[in-house]
Amino acid sequence: MTKTLGERCSTFETKTIEGNNVGNKPVESKSQLVKGTTENGGIRKEYLNDANLCRATFILSKEATNGAESVSIVGDFNSWNIHADPMGKTENGDFEAIFDLKPGREYQFRYLIDESRWENDWDADRYVKSCYGDSDNSVVVT
């Protein structure tokens, strides 16, 4: 059995998401109103009123990927499963993923490029030391 990064790290703290959709899936209600939108470089946040969610759009630029074939976003929101959320490639070559997250929380994450190279988000809200000690994790604050 293959363990996720979170399961292998004994000091890893998993944060539970309380929402009805996670990953690259839209929220089904069409009546949601946007309470506010902020953009922090590669992370765009929209706060949805009637769903009490923060829709976070993660964008990794083509410059950061060096011509990658695939990119996955891996973090607290998908139990650090490297296969859970491959990012979609946009027309201009950037990679993008959308998550509906619970507001008022912090989520650690990283990008896995071509299943071999880890990259942080250059525009993360902040960084924290990885439980492995050899790198930092990006953090998005919702």
pLDDT averaged per 10 residues, the chain (length 142) = 41 35 37 41 84 92 91 96 96 94 95 95 93 90 94
Give the pLDDT of residue 127. 96
Q: Pseudo-torsion of CA 21, 23, 24, 30, nearest 10°?
A: 20
Q: Which CATH class is domain 5-25+32-141?
A: mainly beta
Q: 140: burial class by Cβ within 10 Å (0-12, 13-18, 19+)?
A: buried
Give the pLDDT of residue 11. 34
Three-state DSSP at 63 gives helix
Give the pLDDT of residue 42. 85
Give the pLDDT of residue 24. 39
Three-state DSSP at 101 gives strand
**Can you give the pTM of this predicted structure?**
0.73
Q: Which amino acid is at 67?
A: G
Give the pLDDT of residue 101. 95
